[in-house]
Amino acid sequence: MGKNKLRKFADMKQIGFVYEYPFARLEAEGFPLRGKWGDEVFGNSNPITLELGCGKGEYTVGLARRFPERNFIGIDIKGARMWSGATQAQREGLANVAFLRTSIELLDSFFASGEVAEIWITFPDPQMKKVRKRLTSTRFMELYRKVLRPGGIINLKTDSPFLYTYTREMVALNTLPLLSGSADLYAEAGLQGPLTEIRTHYERQWLDRGLTIKYLSFVLPAEGNLAEPEIEIEHDTYRSYSRGYIECPQLLTETHKNDETRTISGADN
């Protein structure tokens, strides 16, 4: 582990609103703040919003600035990433921010039933080959139900046409109440505001390359069977920034396209 990463982990141990709970201890004792985030972490009963796979925590901190009447928790398995958001929140003295280092699969070990009002899923891996790993799959919807209050809201912001199409079809098939949606968020005048004001590092890079950002917001009812859409969806034609070399064939000249395609041939999205 590099010195810079070790320094970041050391920094976060000194920040009171960053939580990390070893799995062995979690399994043996349970998480002591489960069901008590409002009272013991934030000192209020304001609605709690989670950002799953928060990365650097840009959305967590950005939303917390704009909505001081709500509480926000960024969740990611990679602690060195969230150092940026945690230290920024500390510098600004934001009292409605916390960060939790854990796997999303363990969500209900850290939050009680009905403790969460809203979930943000920002630019996740689309997992085009593995339905069960998609953060908007019905498997994860069932997990979110365990912590969301009745009428809880799911928000997805993605650069992936594949994930946007899949999620839209999942919502439609299961007749989940759709609150808002756009295949090109920044072209929708009616959706301007925090949705477009907060831009992650990678989102800005996608926009600079002319790619569109997609958005869906829907209600996840507490009950009812959920079915997976059985449709063929065209795979994305580029690679995620966080997963190595980038290919954007729709933006490349014919001269470079063949060489760049060969560079990532056989790679798993």
Which residue carries 């041939």 as its tokens? Answer: 265
CB count, 10 Å around CB of 32? 9
What span, in angstroms and rounded, lies between the C-alpha atoms of 221 and 174?
10
| Dihedral of alpha carbons 63, 94, 135, 12, sign | positive
**Pairwise CA distance, residues 99 & 17, whole Å:** 6
Q: What is the C-alpha to C-alpha distance for residues 226 and 83, in angstroms, rounded to an integer?
A: 36
Listed as own residue / partner, the contacts of 27-30 with beta carbons closer than 8 Å and 24 or more positions apart are 30/109
Q: Are 75 and 147 in contact (CB under 8 A)?
A: no
Residue 159 is a catalytic residue: no
Which of 11, 39, 108, 125 does the annotation list as catalytic?
A: 125
As a whole number of angstroms, the distance between CA 43 and CA 87 comes to 21
Distance CA 97, CA 85 (A): 9
Residues annotated catalytic, as ranges: 125
